[in-house]
Amino acid sequence: MKKINIGIVCYPTFGGSGVVATELGKALAQEGHKVHFITYSQPSRLDFLNENLFYHEVEFRSYPLFEYPPYELALASKMVSVVKNEQLDLLHVHYAIPHASAAYMAKQILRTQGIEVPVVTTLHGTDITLVGKDASYEPVVTFSINQSDGVTAVSEDLRKETYEHFKITREIDVIPNFIDLEKFKKQKKDHFKKAICPKDEVLIVHTSNFRKVKRVQDVVQVFANLSKVMPAKLLMIGDGPERSTAETMCRELHIMESVRFLGKLEAVEEVLSVADLFLMPSEKESFGLAALEAMACEVPVISSNSGGLPELNLQGKTGFLSNVGDVEDMTKNALFVLDKDNLPGFRVNALNRAKQFDISRVLPLYEQHYERVIQIMATRSVRQN
């Protein structure tokens, strides 16, 4: 396809939407497209080892008149500036609030200056399932999605939920999250595994932002149950409001010596490469990117059956799914997977499943979506003229 000039707007954080947007931009740049990130700080996984990658910081100042800085206005103004000065062909905004609404505002401003730029909005999850359902945001979310020139969702479940809870009048394409298999290719780090599990314990891993929806207490309880049956260690990666609760629970269950809280890690694949099992008991996951990263490292997954997880974690093949909160069933399934006769087969299946979400398969779906949106706008402009 023709190489295009793309502006990407995202949250520059460790969260799933920011990671996906950053990795997408890097992959597009490697394919020869020019990619301009427009955010309030440099995305955590962004590097500038490619001549096609650019970063534009959104600056917003506090004034005594405002209780909160007007970020959405600053973002819209920055989009206008970058589209004009860099002659962008398309804006791709990740997360509906406030990026889609800011993009609509920028688009209207540009239109008064004779510039038309299509906007693609990608829905990632909590922008729809949590924040978007708030009555104070719902009209804006609905309007912004409907006014986008292209809309994608990261799973069939998220697409379905968006249609159920919002009056959406346009088509939503499902383009799943992805991983770079080369980056997550299992690396033998026996010395690392030996340091954590000196007595050949099984190694369980959980990674999240430690919000209530992630149900980290269930992770701790499942591990406590497992450790009564077999020697095991648990690594908790990430940070957030529920971390202290999880730490307290570990002390109360007398398992703290077998649990390590590692905080936020940039190279999570280095830990996953030596793990035996990944736990994701979330109350809601629109896709489950952390589980996919584990699978890419040949780690089977024990998860809840909520949201988009059944589209990723295949029951009895890559791991098992249980009802939300059913720690007994999760424990039983975990013990089955960790059986030395069963684990090798689950590892193979996990990696084979991850291969289906390699970026080499998913990137063309985004390129085709961009091409179609640009073509539709070009056709519309010709008709109007």
Percent of the chain surpassing pLDDT 90: 72
* pLDDT given for residue 261 in this prediction: 96
* pLDDT given for residue 131 in this prediction: 55
Virtual torsion, Cα 209, 211, 214, 215, nearest 10 deg: 130
Say what the pTM is.
Answer: 0.90
Res. 384: pLDDT tops 70: no
Q: Kindly state the average pLDDT of the residues 316-325.
A: 98
* pLDDT given for residue 267 in this prediction: 79
Best CA proximity match to 204, nearest among 276, 299, 260, 288: 276
Percent of the chain surpassing pLDDT 70: 92
* Statement to judge: residues 13 and 56 lie in one domain: yes
- State the average pLDDT for the chain: 90
* Statement to judge: residues 377 and 275 lie in one domain: no
pLDDT confidence bin for 66, thresholds 50/70/90: low
Are 17 and 152 in contact, with CB atoms under 8 Å apart?
A: no
Tokens 């809870």, located at residue = 165
* Statement to judge: residues 43 and 189 lie in one domain: no
Structure confidence by residue, pLDDT tens digits, 178-192: 999 988 776 666 677
Distance CA 132, CA 148 (A): 16
* Statement to judge: residues 363 and 351 lie in one domain: no
Res. 68: pLDDT tops 80: no
Where b means 16+ CB within 10 Å and e means fewer, 93-126 reads bbbbbbbbbbbbbbbebbeeeeeebbbbbbbbbb
Virtual torsion, Cα 144, 145, 148, 151, nearest 10 deg: 150
* Statement to judge: residues 73 and 186 lie in one domain: no
* Statement to judge: residues 321 and 364 lie in one domain: no
Number of domains in the chain: 2
* Statement to judge: residues 15 and 160 lie in one domain: yes
* Statement to judge: residues 54 and 167 lie in one domain: yes
Q: Kindly state the average pLDDT of the residues 229-242.
A: 95
* pLDDT given for residue 184 in this prediction: 76
Distance CA 165, CA 286 (A): 15
Residue 380 is part of a domain; what is its CATH number? 3.40.50.2000
* pLDDT given for residue 219 in this prediction: 98
Structure confidence by residue, pLDDT tens digits, 133-183: 567 778 888 999 999 999 999 999 999 999 988 899 999 999 999 999 988
Give bridge partners of residue 38 from the DSSP assignment: 9, 56
Domain that residue 253 falls in: 181-355
Res. 117: pLDDT tops 90: yes
* Statement to judge: residues 319 and 192 lie in one domain: yes
Cis peptide before 364 (omega within 30 of 0): no
* Statement to judge: residues 108 and 22 lie in one domain: yes
Res. 330: pLDDT tops 50: yes
Encoded tokens for 181 = 């298999």
* Statement to judge: residues 286 and 162 lie in one domain: no
Res. 94: pLDDT tops 60: yes
* Statement to judge: residues 332 and 204 lie in one domain: yes
* pLDDT given for residue 41 in this prediction: 81
* pLDDT given for residue 155 in this prediction: 95
Q: Which residues contact 190 (CB under 8 A, 6 or more apart)?
A: 274
Residue 269's identity, in one-letter code, is: E
* pLDDT given for residue 132 in this prediction: 45
Q: Kindly state the average pLDDT of the residues 85-99.
A: 92
